[in-house]
Structure 1
Amino acid sequence: MLKRLPQVAFLVKDLDDGKELYRRHLGMETCHSEDLTSYGLKNAVLPAGNGTFIELLQPTSADSAAARYLERRGEAPYMLIFETNEYDRLIPNLKSLGVRLTEKPATGDYRHAFIHPSSANGAFLEVIEVTSGDNPWPAAGPDWQTLARQPLTKQIRQTAVLVRDLDT
């Protein structure tokens, strides 16, 4: 039901410093930025190659969930963003399994849901289904395909999540 892992988000204390680090060491340039005020964040999305992305998130509100996470764990991976093309099957299935999630209103380009860390062994997950045929990954902005130059990386191929207990 999950198609691929196109985006990994990292929390940073300073967005400009984070962007510079990825530019200098990995050749990644920002293709999209926005203020995500409803989440108390601002972001920068950087192409990592082959339709995969690194998202840098800086808390803008001290009382946001991301700010609390950053305070507890420091700059770190924060969220894995998965793509599905079976949203109507996946979300009811997750609910039937007792997975705690929050569905967000669909935009013109995609619909998405967040899976709460308590249901994902401490990991924060998002599932997105792209609904617009014009842009294969709207979360990277409308022009990422023309703005993105080839970074030194080829793509995100895998990631690991550190958990306290694999059995719970």
Structure 2
Amino acid sequence: MAPYIRLRQICLVAPQLEPVITDMARIMGLTVCYRDGNVAKYGLENALLPVDTILLEVVAPFKDGTTAGRFIEKTGGRGGYMAIFCCDDPDGRGRNANALGVRTANVIDHAPYHGVQLHPRDCRAAFIEFNHTEGSDDTLGAYPPAGPDWQKFIRKDVTQALTAVEMQSPDPQGLAEHWGKIIGVAARDAELKLPNATFRFVKGTSEIMSALEFRVTDAARVLHAAREKGHAVAGNEFLLGGVTFRVN
């Protein structure tokens, strides 16, 4: 199999799923495709919404002592939780990360799905996960974390694509190079360009996943919907689920 890596999923974290999920769906014109009962063993509940072929997930803790809960406490609820990449060889990429001093936090093995999650403290800013679903290398192929028929829930009448992820750091070039070494994509001008999305690293006071950028059919309509749901809009962006949603 030829080596490849794509952004498959962005995971956000919130103290409760509602009203975040409902607001996200209504403002961005998205539809929940799946709620995964398997995350309950981690003390979490979740919901996933497809944005074209990239999944947008929100998780929320329902008991004390969860990793997600500690993340909220540490960050004050600001910043995305996890960047999830599908690739040809999660274990190989995990070993490469280990050689860089990035520890493996968790391995998920539910055939045909196999995932390797890296420690957020070593990744800096957010969790990184590599995964592969056997026999499903197509962008519209099977992806068990999103449910059996996630493709049927793709809508493009409002939101067409998630185009970029913004990462913030006091040392954006350093963080870009660090993430680039982990995921195997060369950093150029504090950016990592993947086939289906760009990671952009900007100056900030702390290291967080700070914003998501979307291509939409009508930005004014989306921003109006955000105001209607009570979110403060500045220019072409608003805060939702701990990150800035930026629409173009």
TM-score (norm 2): 0.61
Matched, 1:153 2:159: yes
Rounded Cα–Cα distance in structure 2 between residues aligned with 1:87 and 1:74? 29
Q: Counterparts of 1:76-95 in structure 2 under 5 Å? A: 76-95=79-98
Structure 2 counterpart of 1:27 = 29
Q: 1:2 to 1:11 in 2, by over 3 A?
A: farther
Structure 1 counterpart of 2:61 = 59
Structure 1 counterpart of 2:230 = none
Aligned residues: 167
Q: 1:151 to 1:5 in 2, by over 3 A?
A: farther
Deviations 1:96-150 (A, max 9, x none): 2222113414212211111112221232111111214394322211111123333
Say whether the 8 Å CA contact 1:42–1:60 is kept in structure 2.
Answer: yes
- Show structure 1 runs of 4+ deviating over 6 A: none
Say whether the 8 Å CA contact 2:15–2:69 is kept in structure 1.
Answer: no
Matched, 1:68 2:74: no
Deviation at 1:75, TM superposition (A): 5.2
Deviations 1:51-109 (A, max 9, x none): 11110111112211111211232154111111111224322222222221134142122
Structure 2 counterpart of 1:124 = 127
Say whether the 8 Å CA contact 2:7–2:83 is kept in structure 1.
Answer: yes
Q: Identity percentage over the alignment?
A: 28
Q: 1:86 to 1:59 in 2, by over 3 A?
A: same
Rounded Cα–Cα distance in structure 1 between residues aligned with 2:101 and 2:64? 31
Unaligned segments of structure 2, at least 5 residues: 176-248
Rounded Cα–Cα distance in structure 2 between residues aligned with 1:105 and 1:63? 20
Deviation at 1:2, TM superposition (A): 5.5
Deviations 1:6-37 (A, max 9, x none): 21111112213111111211011100002312
Rounded Cα–Cα distance in structure 2 between residues aligned with 1:149 and 1:67? 31
Rounded Cα–Cα distance in structure 2 between residues aligned with 1:145 and 1:43? 18
Unaligned segments of structure 1, at least 5 residues: none
Say whether the 8 Å CA contact 1:15–1:58 is kept in structure 2.
Answer: yes
Q: 1:137 to 1:151 in 2, by over 3 A?
A: farther
Structure 1 counterpart of 2:117 = 114
Rounded Cα–Cα distance in structure 2 between residues aligned with 1:151 and 1:82? 26
